[in-house]
Amino acid sequence: MRRFIGRDRELRVLREALDGVRAAVGSARPGQCILMRGRRRVGKSSLVEEFLRRAEVPNLFFTAAGGSAEAELAELFDAVATSTLPQRGLFAEEAPGQWNAAFRLLAEMLPDDIPSVVVIDEVPYLVDRIDAFEGMLQRAWDRLLSRKPVLLLLIGSDLSMMEALNSYDRPFHQRGREMVVGPLNPADISEILDLEAAEAFDAALITGGLPLICREWLPGNSMWQFLRTALDNPISALLVSAERSLAAEFPPHAMGGDVLRAIGTGERTFTNIASAAGGIAHTTLSRAVELLVSKRVIAAELPIALRPSRERRYRVADPYLRFWLALLEPHMAEIERMRGDLTLARIKQQWTSWRGRAIEPLVRESLARILPDSGLPAAPAIGGYWTRGNDIEIDLVGADRHPVAQRILFLGSIKWLETAPFDGRDLAVLHKHRAAVTDELVPLVAVSRSGVSCAGLQAMYGPQDLLQAWRPR
């Protein structure tokens, strides 16, 4: 049996929702709906399958395939036939030819006296391909489905479309509760893979917290042991998950894929991205970047400062995809020739410098979960600061708002090296850069993998402190 890892919190939410349906059996509207969203490969479908396995109630799991309305109805027909709904034979008898009729028949099939679960996966495909699907779903829910003791799970990987589904100007507004399924966090990874704090953050950068990849990481194995095994297996999840996600997001002719690869290999400014993507026109690049940002594939960031800045930078939002684009994809040919040893040697050479920048968003998110504490105040915005020429670059800027702050609350530096602690020279640079950003003597903070060897900081954090931020309080 395939190992299912983590997701205790998410399973509890689903179980409590089903318990609510069960408690409401016999009432006028016992049904509940959950709109579940999360990036591709993050494990939404596996989570729901595990929930259904444990729930042991009649259920239907239908996954849209992105075909025509007729093709999707045929897929639904097959899904009903293999479901555990007690009246599934009704579908075979009537064979509805329209989605309105299919929803009506589905409602008739659902039991009245016990709870059931209906799952519709990849909902954005249906919204995109079937005319008025949202309206049909809304009417079916209001008039039929919500009157049955059913938990309706609507799942999607297109984050912006799933958010829009519940917005005030759309038919399904306020019909369902939203549930975001994110990757496994560093604390989850530490527990599941039996890793110390610093190694758990390394694993988070490599796997992105994707359960499918973490499942292949044997508990207790080091990062290099895992990579050696994964690179020797051309069908390992580490190698193929990104390819499949990109193929689903971007067809071969889409410019977004080329732009994403340019950003993934380290280009961060608009001009450099355009050049790395083949010298594409700025209008074309603007459209591609807008698409990538809307899909939450990349993040567009401005420095936090007291004055406006136009120095926008881009980064790949997902840690695993960032790792794959930078250190794996350029060398897939040699991996397929069974020379993953060459790729591994190259990763070892580049790892420290690549990790130094890749860890920054994860550190900032960890700090946002820690603060306030005895050393630093709460900061509504935590980001970085940089100039066009990078003569001044500050890893951590805490402020009252982003990107143009009224008040800088603290400044800090990240030093994520195995053997070199944050020292007096690092502190001197931080003092110098503080003077260039603000006239106030705001608190200074260091985040270091290997500790601090100097005095003069108002706060300091190590891997264990950051990991603790992800644990339930």
pLDDT tens, residue by residue, 388-415: 988 999 999 999 999 999 999 999 999 9
Q: Is the pLDDT of residue 1 over 50?
A: no
pLDDT band, very low/low/confident/very high, at 254 (cuts 50, 70, 90): low
Biggest CA–CA distance in the chain, Å, is: 79
pLDDT band, very low/low/confident/very high, at 187 (cuts 50, 70, 90): very high
Rounded to whole angstroms, the Cα distance separating 350 from 327 reads 8
Out of 108-112, 163-167, 202-206, least confident range: 163-167
**Top-level class of domain 8-180:** alpha beta
Residue at 248: amino acid letter: A
Q: DSSP character for 328?
A: I
pTM: 0.87
242-248 contact pairs (CB < 8 A, 24+): 242/320, 242/321, 242/324, 242/325, 242/328, 242/329, 244/40, 244/41, 245/39, 245/40, 245/41, 245/321, 248/40, 248/157
pLDDT band, very low/low/confident/very high, at 82 (cuts 50, 70, 90): very high
Rounded to whole angstroms, the Cα distance separating 35 from 369 reads 25
Could you state, in order of their start, the residue ranges of all structural domains in the chain? 8-180, 186-358, 370-468
pLDDT band, very low/low/confident/very high, at 252 (cuts 50, 70, 90): low
Q: Which CATH architecture has domain 186-358?
A: Orthogonal Bundle (1.10)
pLDDT score, position 39: 86
How many residues comprise the chain? Answer: 473
